Amino acid sequence: MVVFDVQDVGTRFYTYISTMHYIMEACAESGKQVIILDRPNPNGMYVDGPVLEMEFQSFVGMHPIPILHGLTVGELALMINGEGWLKGGIVCDLKVIPVQRWDHSSNYSLPVKPSPNLPNDLSIQLYPSLCLFEGTSISVGRGTYKPFQQIGHPSFTSLKENFMPVSLPGMSKYPKYQDKMCYGKIFNETSDLKGIDLSYLIDFYNLFEDKKNFFVPYFNTLAGNSTLQSQIVAGKTDQEIKASWQKDLDSYKIIRKKYLLYPDFE
């Protein structure tokens, strides 16, 4: 058997779930059982974001699920098996050991940081929204001790808050804009940025002078479609963009309910 015991943060582009997929696939092919020691999802109270279009499938998005999928790793493993998403529709011999005394409306503070650049609860809360900036010319604070808690660019000198990325071995050895002052937005513990908030992405695009170079190709890979970029370029509002996700989210939620192991937030 293979035991999977890894702390996820509940987003489609956090690659621990992609690793889990390949473990399930390999074990299905070799006749081994996979045991998932389930963990709480610190973003498990949200289902939000565009659902991945499969032409944009990659290691940062392997399944037709939204950015915030609202599942534990155990629930997602059941979905992967049940929906036939493993190669050739093979099925893994899967056993999920559930979490006790937790549900999808519960807040959960991770006792150990899940990776070097998600060091605390605030970064995990902001990650679903700020990770999209990784597909742009904007720094997300890699090369500082507050990654995914601040966003900025050297050209935004009209903004008062600032930070300087430096080489931090073990966290970010060669960060974007190394040794250059970046001006932008620094979030704090009272931030109400929850779920997917596109307002900062839209604002920073509008502020950026060289708009042709704001997005990089990786943005569509993270978003899971090419629509989000075109909507921002076209001047759509946060509310208009999120409304365009609703039909796919409603369909996804119907599938999701089949695999829930814990009381839901709705």
Examine the pLDDT at 90 and tell me if it is beyond 80: yes
Residues 138 and 48 in one domain: no
Predicted confidence at residue 21, as pLDDT, reads 98
Is there a domain that residue 265 lies in?
A: no
pLDDT class for 189, splitting at 50, 70, 90?
confident
Q: Buried b / exposed e across 140-174, counting CB within 10 Å, b at 16+?
A: bbbbbebbbbbbbbeebeebeeebbbeebeebbee
Q: For a pLDDT cut of 70, what percent of the chain falls above it? A: 98
- In three-state form (DSSP H/G/I as H, E/B as E, the rest C), the secondary structure along the chain is CEEECCCCCCECCCCHHHHHHHHHHHHHHHCCEEEEECCCCCCCCCCEEEECCHHHCECCECCCCEEECCCCHHHHHHHHHHCCCCHHHCCCEEEEECCCCCCCCCCCCCCCCCECCECCHHHHHHHHHHHHHHHECCECCCCCCCCCCEEEECCCCCCCEEECCCCECCCECCCCCCCCCEEEEECCCCCCCCCCCCHHHHHHHHHCCCHHHCECCHHHHHHCCCHHHHHHHCCCCHHHHHHHHHHHHHHHHHHHHCCCCCCCCC
pLDDT class for 265, splitting at 50, 70, 90?
confident
Predicted confidence at residue 190, as pLDDT, reads 63
Q: What is the pLDDT of residues 129-157, one digit of tens each?
A: 999 999 999 999 999 999 999 999 999 99
Residues 100 and 181 in one domain: no
Total number of domains in the chain: 2
Is there a domain that residue 116 lies in?
A: no
Residues 30 and 143 in one domain: no
Residues 100 and 127 in one domain: no
CATH number, domain containing residue 33 = 3.40.50.12170
- The parent domain of residue 18 ranges over 2-110+247-257
CATH number, domain containing residue 168 = 3.90.1150.140
Examine the pLDDT at 191 and tell me if it is beyond 70: no
Residues 7 and 83 in one domain: yes
Mean pLDDT, residues 71-80: 98
Mean pLDDT, residues 211-216: 97
Residues 251 and 239 in one domain: no
